[in-house]
Amino acid sequence: MSTEINIPSLNSLEFIPYIDENGDLPEQYQGKIGVYAIFDQNKTLQFIGYSRDVFLSLRQHLVRQSHYCYWVKVETIERPSRTILEQIEQAWIAENGSVPMGNGENKQKWISPIDAKALITPEEQANYDNPVNDEMTKMKIIKNVARRVEADILKQLEARGLQMQVRFNPKLKEEGLLDLKS
């Protein structure tokens, strides 16, 4: 059995708008296994990833890094194979000539929930640090920080014309984290 695969060059694939004229993500990738490359407004490569559901991954990346998600190129495969997906990913990174920012030092921002605590304002921090606050009050402050960050993200996505419903996992907000509800 051979694991020889035909890897399409990244340049040979067509650019697909991340958000189409109807305000939708590329739904043809719902439930599809594949490798995807995400580009900014200037069509500069920002991140390469692979997934068992390309559509869901694209949703997560849009919420986490919306200012870098304007164009996408996708190669799907029929059966799950981490080896094949990694080969395509590595080939595209090599073709690019350098590791995209999202695959290097900024990878956590692309693949992990948003840490709203990192975006706490000085006023919110002072309120949080108040010695009279108990754990419940501190949790409420962090949850409100997460809600503020969530509102900012939703406003950015609305400005981009996104029509799709975006719902964050409410349980994670208590920890100051934002991630889409599955």
Domain boundaries, the chain: 10-110, 114-178
81 closest CA partner among 52, 121, 49, 122: 52
Under the phi-then-psi rule, with left for phi > 0, alpha for psi from -120 to 50, and beta for the rest, what region is 45? Answer: beta
pLDDT above 80 for 1? no
> How far is 39 from 43, CA to CA, in rounded Å?
5
The pair of structure tokens assigned to 19 is 């958000």
Topology of the domain comprising 10-110: GIY-YIG endonuclease (3.40.1440)
Compute the average pLDDT of residues 95-123.
96
> Torsions phi, psi of 75, nearest 5?
-125, 120
Gap between the Cα atoms of 86 and 96, Å rounded = 15
Q: Cα(129)–Cα(123) distance, rounded to whole angstroms?
A: 10
Confirm if 63 and 164 have CB atoms less than 8 A apart.
no
Whether pTM > 0.85 for this model: the answer is yes
Q: What's the Rg (C-alpha) of the chain?
A: 19
pLDDT digits (tens, 9 = 90+) for 17-58: 999 999 999 999 999 999 999 999 999 999 999 999 999 999
